[in-house]
Amino acid sequence: MRNYRDLQVWTKAHALTLDLYRISRAFPREEMYGLTAQLWRAAASIGANLAEGCGRRTSSELARFIRIAMGSASELDYHLLLSRDLEFMKDDDFKRTTRDLVEVRKMLTSLLSSVEEQVELKAKAAAKV
C-alpha cells in the first residue's frame, strides 16, 4: 500500500482538477449538469483512481486503477476539446490545461510501466520457488 499523495502524477492531476474547477465557473449555467459536470468527473476521476489504487493490497490492483485513470484522462481530453470548440473555454486556458493533461498522461504511462514491471518480477520470483 502506497500513499497516493507521494505520487508526482497525483499532485499534477490534482492541480489540473483544481484549475479546471476554476475555469469552468465561467461556463454557461445550463451546462452545470452537462458538460461542466462531465469535465469535473473525468478530471477528479484521475486522482481518485490513483488514490484508490494506492489503497489496494497488490501491485496488480494498482495497475488496474492506473489504467482506469488513463481512461479518465482520455475522456477529459475530449471534454477539453469540446469546451474549447463550444467557446466555453478561452484558448489560453485550453492550451495550458491540454499541455498539463499531456504531461499527466505521460506520467501515468510511465507509472503503469513501472508497476507492471514490479508485477512481472514478483511473478517470476514466485515461479522460481
The pLDDT profile of the chain, 129 residues, written as one tens digit per residue, is 789 999 999 999 999 999 999 999 999 999 999 999 999 999 999 999 999 999 999 999 999 999 999 999 999 999 999 999 999 999 999 999 999 999 999 999 999 999 999 999 988 888 886
**pTM as predicted:** 0.93
**What is the rounded distance in angstroms from the CA atom of residue 72 to the CA atom of residue 42?**
5
Structural domains in the chain plus CATH codes: 4-128 (1.20.1440.60)
